[in-house]
Structure 1
């Protein structure tokens, strides 16, 4: 089990300020849950979890729900589109309302950055970040580390290239903070308009050619809808310059792992055949998300 005790410590808001030991403890507990043959082990029986998604999600929400139900928790799902939030009720009031009804933990996805930290300071239940704006997505990074660790044995010394829309990626940030705690070398590759200059002091920006020489090549979803000025003339142009095409994938080292947090824009940031190739870990990542989130929710609701 993990070392977290207080409500604040049992929350998981991000990985930048969490210790390497605590991350390692979560990864180890995830391995324990993955090894269990029983689909349901009710360690959270009589506990109530609410998944509060103020931003659309499919994989993350279902992964959390699967994890919670496998632990025997009672699960409620909250959709902002069908709630009082549409009528102007604040996110804080919504969380406080659910807290007053007796929930034991809340999983939250939000569009704005910074709100989750404020919420955690004002409520008395553990909160788990399921993605907040461009800030962090800690459970995605944890499952990424878990996937790498299963394949390589250890994270120290790995070179991980994160390629794509770094500017808008909460995944890139959480992976950066976590991987560096374990001695991995992180590097970014992105067109200038998709770079986050404030991260350059932590990880260098490299060319596509250099990025492909890494142990792990992680492609990010291209959020072209965010770029009103038109960074590229077309998706085909992005694919030509920054996509993991069949030709580029064929030049990767034999041990290089291909990853993507999903959803995938097939044949844009990564070719369809590459998604389905043996070295692609994309669906393994999704599978690993369940034991990781089991460890996180057990930590949140049991301590």
Structure 2
């Protein structure tokens, strides 16, 4: 009896924080998975739970360059392409802004051409950063944003906007079938403790006893989505008929000071809180309107902040080799 040939999914950026969780979920759904990642910002340790699993392959490659034969030779089997490839935290994407822009534009073009060749559906993980420092609150997908095209965040914000434009150009020309997710702040296990994002910063500083850094007065707001909810949303969007961008995020909104209160209730610490100036173009408010996701995907987050933060804190503590009790000592 002939062996069943499984469908193949390509996850660009699959060694990253969200990408590694997505690879696991796709394997569980019966896909073979190629994880394509340059490891420029991803942590190789994220591959530990994936390597050796039947159906999983890792290919180290930068999508700015022509895709390797190990990927293109599989075009006949390829059914799904997830593009998560790009540095996502401000310190990381601002460290090499040219590469960030090229990853979003040239890299997305390379993956779209693979989708065109293979007939696979492509999902782009865009970002809430396309809304910039929004004048409309909460942010709906039809809001066109308030961004600076010349500021230090522009390589990411404008790069993602250009990537969206490419995707919908390919769709309009009937060259590829695309889905676009605009993802909001996401947190959970396998985040890089040093990636510079607010959840990882505050938890790790509290655990280590270092000064806890709050930028500005802490009144700026964010909405935090646990990684398992985000992965469920990405898969639901990929398998949907959605023809427009879809916000994926948790609509529960917190100031940064409120986030810190939640963290300190989990990780008691003697660390002091220090305030630093707000970074240029830092958004004042950020909260997704997820009405489209509810209507088209039947999706909304399940994990509340007070459920997800303890899981994240436990993971960071283990990663850093610090107990929560030691942080308060």
TM-score normalised to structure 1 length? 0.36
TM-score normalised to structure 2 length? 0.34
Higher RCO (C-alpha 8 Å, min separation 6): 1
